[in-house]
Amino acid sequence: MDDRLRETLSAMMDDQADELAVRRVLSHHDQQAVRDQWQRWQRIRDVMHEAPAGHAGLDVREAVSASLDQPAAGDSGHQSAGRRYAPWRWSAVAMIAVGVAIGFGAGSGWDVMSGSGPDTLVPVQAQVPAAAGVPEVTLQGLDPSQREQFSRYLLEHAQNNSMAAGQGAVGYARLTSMSGSGQGY
Amino acid sequence: MKVHTREAGHTAIIWMLLVVTMLATGMARATERETADAWLLKLGPALNMTTYRGIFVYSRGDQVSSMMIAHRYRDGSVEERLVQQDGAGGEILRRGNRVLCVLPEQGRIHLDQVIPSGPFGEAFASQQVPVGAWYQPQMLGEDRIAGYPAVVIGLEPRDDDRYGYRLWMEKHTGLLLKSHVRQDGEVLEHFQFTMLEITDELPDSEFEIRSGVEMKEVTPYLPVSGDAGEMDGWNLGWQPDGFMPVDAPRTSRGQAVAFSDGLATFSVFVEAAGGTEMPEGASRIGATTVYMHYVSPGAGSQDRFLVTVVGEIPPRTAMRVAQSVAVDDRNALARTLAD
ipTM of the complex: 0.74
Cβ atoms of residues B33 and B137 within 8 Å: yes
The 10s digit of each residue's pLDDT in A52-76 is: 433 333 444 454 455 445 444 444 3
Q: How confident is the model at residue B162 (pLDDT cuts 50, 70, 90)?
A: very high
Q: How far is A20 from chain B (nearest CA, A)?
A: 8
Q: Do domains B33-218 and B234-338 have the same CATH topology?
A: no
Alpha-helix runs per DSSP H in B63-215: 120-123
Taking residues A76-86, report their average pLDDT.
Answer: 37
Q: Does B78 touch chain A (CB under 8 A)?
A: no
Which comes out higher in pLDDT, residue B154 or B257?
Answer: B154
Whole-angstrom distance, CA of residue A8 vs CA of residue B204 = 45
Closest CA to B284 of B168, B136, B163, B115: B163
Q: Please give the pLDDT value at position B107.
A: 37
Q: Pick from A20, A135, A163: which is nearest to B116 by CB?
A: A163
Taking residues B99-113, report their average pLDDT.
Answer: 47
Q: Pick from A135, A161, A173: which is nearest to B280 by CB?
A: A135
The reply to whether residue B283 touches residue A19, judged by beta carbons under 8 angstroms, is: no
Whole-angstrom distance, CA of residue B285 vs CA of residue A163 = 20
Q: Please give the pLDDT value at position A37.
A: 53
The reply to whether residue B67 touches residue A149, judged by beta carbons under 8 angstroms, is: no
Q: How confident is the model at residue B23 (pLDDT cuts 50, 70, 90)?
A: confident
Q: Please give the pLDDT value at position B282.
A: 93
The 10s digit of each residue's pLDDT in B69-92 is: 898 988 888 788 888 787 666 677
Which amino acid, residue B238? Answer: W
Chain A residues with CB-CB distance to B122 below 8 A:
163
Q: Does B239 touch chain A (CB under 8 A)?
A: no
Find the residue in B nearest to A144 (Cα): B276
Which helix (H) or strand (E) covers residue B246, if one does?
strand B244-247
Q: For chain A, give the percent of residues with pLDDT over 90.
A: 0
Q: How confident is the model at residue B121 (pLDDT cuts 50, 70, 90)?
A: very low
- Give the sheet arrangement for strand B91-95, strand by strand: B135-145, B148-157, B164-170, B176-183, B186-199, B51-60, B63-74, B77-84, B91-95, B98-102, B215-218
Q: How confident is the model at residue B19 (pLDDT cuts 50, 70, 90)?
A: confident
Q: How far is B26 from chain A (nearest CA, A)?
A: 26
B33-218 topology per CATH: outer membrane lipoprotein receptor (LolB), chain A (2.50.20)
Q: Please give the pLDDT value at position A120.
A: 27
Query: What integer best gives the mean pLDDT of chain B?
Result: 77
Taking residues B289-300, report their average pLDDT.
Answer: 86
CATH (residue range B234-338): 3.30.200.100
* Residue B339 Cα distances to B173, B230, B258, B315, angstroms: 46, 16, 20, 32
Which comes out higher in pLDDT, residue B78 or B171?
Answer: B171
Q: Is B320 left (phi over 0), alpha (psi -120 to 50) or beta?
A: alpha
The reply to whether residue A125 touches residue B56, judged by beta carbons under 8 angstroms, is: no
Q: What are the sequence ranges of the domains in chain A?
A: 3-116, 141-176
Longest dimension (CA), chain A: 62
Query: What integer best gives the mean pLDDT of chain A?
Result: 49
Pick from A83-97, B121-135, B139-153: least confident:
A83-97
Q: Please give the pLDDT value at position A184.
A: 38
Which comes out higher in pLDDT, residue B96 or B316?
Answer: B316
Q: Is B128 left (phi over 0), alpha (psi -120 to 50) or beta?
A: alpha
Q: Please give the pLDDT value at position A166.
A: 42
Q: What are the sequence ranges of the domains in chain B?
A: 33-218, 234-338
Chain B residues with CB-CB distance to A121 below 8 A:
none
Which comes out higher in pLDDT, residue B58 or B100?
Answer: B58
Which comes out higher in pLDDT, residue B230 or B139?
Answer: B139
Q: Does B102 touch chain A (CB under 8 A)?
A: no
Strands (E), A15-123: none
The reply to whether residue B308 touches residue A153, judged by beta carbons under 8 angstroms, is: yes
The reply to whether residue B288 touches residue A154, judged by beta carbons under 8 angstroms, is: yes
